[in-house]
Amino acid sequence: MHSLLVTGGCGFIGTNFIRYIFTKTDYNGIVINLDKLTYAANPENLSDIAEMFPTRYFLEVGDICDIKKVSKIVEDYNVDAIVNFAAESHVDRSIYGPKDFLQTNVVGTFVLLETIRLYLERGKSIRFHQISTDEVFGSLAPQVQSYENSPYLPRSPYSASKASADHFVNAYINTYQIPATISICSNNYGPYQFPEKLIPLMILNMLEGKELPVYGDGLNVRDWLYVEDHCEAIWLILHQGRLGETYNIGGENEWENIKLVNLLCELVAKKINKKTDELKKLIKFVSDRPGHDKRYALNCDKIKRELNWKPKVDFIEGLNLTIDWYLQNSLWLHKVKSGEYIKWIEKNYLFR
Ligand code: NAD
Ligand code: DAU
């Protein structure tokens, strides 16, 4: 691999993945980051990487649904692998406005697959990796785990769009022999996550003394994985994963939301010299998310067995790293919240 196209690289996991490649691997090829720069993106996330590696990192602003743009990038940069992170990713937003989810998550993935199909037809070689989610398996009862071949039972517009995209990837593998893999991951946490998601939202609200909104009874369960562990697993699959296969990537670290919010209160209180109870008083049970999935849990035997991967970062250590990052990056938080980066986009792209 010498030319890797990463889509959605200005979002949370994509940013961490590109940083991982440049700082933790011996890869010496180029990385092209194709991102539409939606509300969830911040192009400044990678400005240090852009400065350090001007001949190896390239940001292309564009939409994965635009087949001309995608094909031109693949052609111009001689791309030999694509990792697709680009997506609308927030379940709550999918409930209030599902259309963008259908467009980017389904049509966008289809466009990437079509580009690859046509490229392969011309005798070129290119590999595809799709980033998927444990939400495709739907809501689980206690003790149950989802395996790679468990039936898909999506229940939100977000998970339906991700499930649909995975079906297209598998259909292209089966019908056109596209060299592709899929990974299915649980809830990620870590630096650069947009503060609409549970962990950064709670940290931010604690710092600002705002209410901590817990949906329903707070007993829904999520499995948490530090984002860098996810990045390492993707890198391994890209290099050693068997083509045509799907791999689960989980933290084996299940928490009820209310227990996690209480733990965050304890950890944040220590760092900002407040009493834990002062933060816990901010917890407020609010209306439940419509159709709120109760629990997700992945069985990760396959990736452990085949690729010798397991999560490295302990949960308390990962949460402390995450809290420290948000404490040290108040300017980043301010910018993503105020939409200030839009000005950056205008200056650098729109009126060039
Ligand atoms: P995110 O919302 O933080 O980032 C998404 C990025 O995609 C943004 O930079 C956005 O600008 C870009 N994007 C959106 N639409 C685009 C389009 N049409 N063309 C090009 N770029 C576009 O998301 P994330 O949390 O980093 O998630 C990345 C991927 O991982 C998604 O596919 C998501 O479904 C999956 N995933 C996320 C988690 C998680 O916990 N965050 C867990 C499992 C899987
Ligand atoms: O499971 C993987 C998925 O994890 C990814 O595919 C999604 O892209 C990602 O957004 C995430 O989805 P969740 O819905 O699990 O994440 P979120 O952070 O929105 O919510 C986590 C849990 O916390 C969920 O049960 C809802 C609850 N919650 C969330 C928010 C934002 C609250 O109780 N209060 C809140 O304010």
Strand pairing partners for 286? 215
Task: Please name the residue whose Cα sits nearest to atom 19 of ligand 1.
Answer: 63
- As given in the structure block, the two tokens for residue 22 are 């440049």
- Reported as half-sphere exposure (CB side, CA atoms, 13 A), residue 13 has a value of 29
pLDDT at 43: 87
Domains of the chain and CATH, by start: 3-194+224-254+293-315 (3.40.50.720)
- 245 neighbors 175 (Cβ within 8 angstroms): no
At 113, which helix (H) or strand (E)?
helix 109-121
**Alpha carbon nearest to ligand 1 atom 28, residue:** 85
Q: How confident is the model at residue 124 (pLDDT cuts 50, 70, 90)?
A: very high
Centre of ligand 1 from the C-alpha of residue 276, in Å: 33
As a whole number, mean pLDDT of residues 271-297 equals: 97
pLDDT tens for 304-325 read 999 999 999 999 999 999 999 9
Mutate to test the pocket of ligand 1, among 7, 10, 89, 156 (most ligand atoms within 8 A of CB): 89
User: By the 8 A CB rule, do 27 and 40 touch?
Assistant: no
pTM above 0.85, yes or no: yes
User: How close is the Cα of 185 to the center of ligand 2, in Å?
Assistant: 13
CA of 217 to the centre of ligand 2 (A): 14
**Nearest bound ligand to the CA of residue 295:** 2
Give the closest ligand to the alpha carbon of residue 233. 1
CB 351 within 8 A of CB 259: no
**For residues 5-24, average pLDDT:** 98
pLDDT tens digits, 134-188 = 999 999 999 999 999 999 999 999 999 999 999 999 999 999 999 999 999 999 9
Residues near ligand 2 (Cβ within 6 A): 89-91, 133-135, 186-187, 197-198, 201, 213-215, 220, 222, 257, 289, 296
| Residue 39 is among the residues annotated as catalytic for this protein | no
CA distance 6 to 17: 9
How far apart, in whole angstroms, are the C-alpha atoms of residue 285 and residue 217? 7
What's the confidence (pLDDT) of residue 339?
A: 66
